[in-house]
Amino acid sequence: MPLSDSLLVGGAHARTRFQQASSIRKRPETIAAALAFTCLIIGLGYAAFGLWTSLIFSSGFLGGFLLWLTVGGTVNYRSIRAPYWLTLALFAVHGSMKRSAASSQRFPASRASKRPPSPHGQLSV
């Protein structure tokens, strides 16, 4: 057995599972929908936050899209359901806390928008 196989957890079984996951082909309509969604999010980010901020988070979206295209594998929804909903709930809590702090008299500096004006107008958040 080569050294690289012995380093894998599960040896040949893990290598076989990886080969099976890597050989899964994504359908063209799924790739097109994912690319359209990625472009939509990047476009909305540019409209809402301007060029420099959108460049920062666009790198994450484009990087994630490229990783999804190149790295094979399947994920069962059950395995990501709890972390997904927890993250979404914490994001909602964070947004409500930010809005309440912005309207509070204790944090007057947070009321002023710190974002540069967008070249495409303001989006309501």
Instruction: Give the pLDDT band (50/70/90) at residue 22.
Output: very low
Q: For residue range 74-90, list pLDDT tens digits in order.
A: 778 888 899 989 999 99
The answer to the question of residue 34 being in a domain is: no
Domain contains 32: no
Domain around 117: 76-125
Residue 22 counted as domain residue = no
Decide if 94 is inside a domain. yes
Sorted by sequence, the CB contacts under 8 Å of residue 45 that are 6+ apart come out as 53, 54, 57, 58
116 in a domain, yes or no?
yes
Number of structural domains, the chain? 1
User: 59 in a domain, yes or no?
Assistant: no
Query: What pLDDT digit, counting tens, does each position of 30-61 carry?
Result: 899 989 999 998 999 899 888 888 888 899 88
| pLDDT level of residue 117 (50, 70, 90 thresholds) | low
Beta strands (DSSP E) in the chain are: none
> pTM value?
0.46
Q: Is residue 84 part of a domain?
A: yes
Domain membership of residue 46 (yes or no) is: no
